[in-house]
Structure 1
Amino acid sequence: MALEINAKPEAAEADGTRTGGTKNDGSSTGGTKPELSRQISGLDALELAAGTRRNPLSRAWSSVWPMASAVLIALLAWQIVVWSGWKPSYVLPGPGDTLPELGRQLTKGSFWGAVGLTMQRAVIGFAVSVVVGTLVGALVTQSSVLRRAVGSLITGLQTMPSIAWFPLAILLFQLSEQAILFVVVLGAAPSIANGLIAGVDYTPPILLRAGKVMGLRGLNLYRHLILPASLPSFVAGLKQGWAFAWRSLMAGELLVVISSHTSLGVLLSQAREFSQTDAMISYMIVILIIGIVMDRLFGLVDGAIRTRWGLDGD
């Protein structure tokens, strides 16, 4: 009987050691905790290794081949339409006629001067739009009365076609750079303002309360808390604003022709008037490429934000 009584505490102690319980003196054995920590560390190391296993060349190729495939598919579809005989070749030339013309345009200094003027207008118009849209968005988010007064108006301006502003712009500013800038700002600023408003609206209230407890008020609250928290939505608004600015600018350059100011829109209009379809499509391809490059730049900014916030799953 004594042997059985002595054996039970030993068995209980052994079981407690295996299950991570407590010994008779009350101290924790933690038998499984070191093993669990080693397993979690191993999983973390495996995940990190999986994220860094791909070399830069493979990452570059994985980002290039989808776009290259899309370009090849588009060129093939274009050539098939030409082969179908839907339109004569002088109306719709194929890639074999257009791409050499694009190469010739790229060697001309006048072409690059036109691209430079268009990009200068785009950068200035977009910069002014960012300032105006950010100020309007910040004011609307700070005043409920102002939000009820102009909130729907901002959305209405965003949905309004930019080309509808040009008759008014020409009346106000004649055929000038100010007329183009006026329409570009009206096309882009509402999207930027709505992006900031959406970002502020979706800022977690607990962050706002924490910021006020830490003494953030007014401009400091915006600078150190609200703007960083609303940055993803704000960048999305900037991206959309650039798209509207670019479309408004192209429409403006087609409608507002300023003497001695040759831009991409002017070259496009001249090619249409002289029935130079291959040159016209070449300019359209350049406009498309610029739009794609800007989209990639905004994508890099968005990717950097996602990485900083720990949202990048790659």
Structure 2
Amino acid sequence: MARDTDVIDTPEPDASGLERQIAGLDALEMAARSQHGVVRRAWASTWPVLAAVAIAVAIWELVVLSGWKPTYVLPGPGDVFPQLWKDLGEGAFWSGLGLTMRRAVIGFALAILVGAVLGAVVSRVRFLRVAFGSLITGLQTMPSIAWFPLAILLFQLSESAILFVIVIGAAPSIANGLIAGVDYTPPILLRAGKILGLRGIALYRHLILPASLPAFVTGLKQGWAFAWRSLMAGELLVIIGHHASLGVRLEYARENIDAPDMIATMIIILVIGIVIDRLFSAADRTLRARRGLEPT
């Protein structure tokens, strides 16, 4: 005799709720992967620098231990790094660093203005390209220190003399970067812009400058290198009163035969140059990633 069995109805799973849960898990997994990817990229870009620093310090110590020069001329890391730490704790050091960085920012900003205007005009006017193209490249290859006798004659021992050499040293590289970017702008984009009614400044603002931005950033990076070298040369040659900038500290340390302080200041100058260079490199990578030229 068969018995009736009770049928228990089980509710069907909610498809939309299940999809939301799966999507949430996928989002968590992607976030974790993204976080790990950022950490890996940061470490991948950091450890070679740390390794290079360790190798450089080791070679430096070996040269000192070899007795090639007396320690009062070439001190080792054990003498320089304590002096560096001492300098970092002094208010006079930070005021000198602030003075140097203020000169760098003002000079580089003026160089960007002059270089961008010069590059924009020369890149679009054929006559000016033929007349001044080689001159701009010649100015770029000319050593910045060669301009200081003229700068001192024109502006005496003043801030203007330093800024003049910074601008004339960095602006040609910035101009050439923009010129190269304009040269590699696809002609089809220019034709499309003209069809859309872009003319004059609007054409530069909305088409040419965005298209040439990668090359322009490269020009800015190179221009900064010239500006930084010009500034350091200027602070060594143009000593204004008792303004203890980094270059002045370097010169005073040399005159007083204070090799540890001199090398400590050189390390600071080197670190600042490396940090700014890496900032430009990060900006370049971000720009390339946004344009699909390298993995994000």
Q: Normalising by structure 1, what TM-score?
A: 0.83
Alignment match, 2:167: 185
Q: Distance in 2 between matches of 1:270 and 1:76?
A: 28
Aligned match for 1:252, one of 210, 229, 234: 234
User: What does 1:73-152 align with in structure 2 at a 5 Å threshold?
Assistant: 73-152=55-134
Alignment match, 1:45: none
Change (3 A) 1:207 1:72: same
Return the offset for 1:53. 7.8
Alignment match, 1:285: 267
Return the offset for 1:214. 1.1
The number of residues matched between the two structures is 267
What residue identity is the alignment partner of 1:75?
V
1:167-200 per-residue CA deviation (whole Å, 9 max, x = no partner) reads 0000010000000000000000000000000000
Q: Distance in 1 between matches of 2:90 and 2:47?
A: 30
Aligned match for 2:205, one of 223, 229, 248: 223
1:42-89 per-residue CA deviation (whole Å, 9 max, x = no partner) reads xxxxxx99x848343333222211111010000001001011110011
Percent of matched pairs sharing the same residue: 67
Q: Distance in 2 between matches of 1:252 and 1:89?
A: 29
Which gives a bigger RCO, structure 1 or 2 (Cα 8 Å, sep 6+)?
2
Return the offset for 1:142. 1.7
Q: Which of structure 1's runs of 4+ aligned residues deviate more than 4 A?
A: none
Q: Distance in 2 between matches of 1:240 and 1:61?
A: 26
- Give the CA RMSD over aligned residues: 1.5
What residue identity is the alignment partner of 1:215?
G
1:228-269 per-residue CA deviation (whole Å, 9 max, x = no partner) reads 100000000000000000000000000000003110000000
Q: Distance in 2 between matches of 1:180 and 1:52?
A: 46
User: What does 1:1-314 align with in structure 2 at a 5 Å threshold?
Assistant: 52=34, 54-313=36-295
Alignment match, 1:43: none
Uncovered stretches (5+) of structure 1, i.e. residues with no partner = 1-47
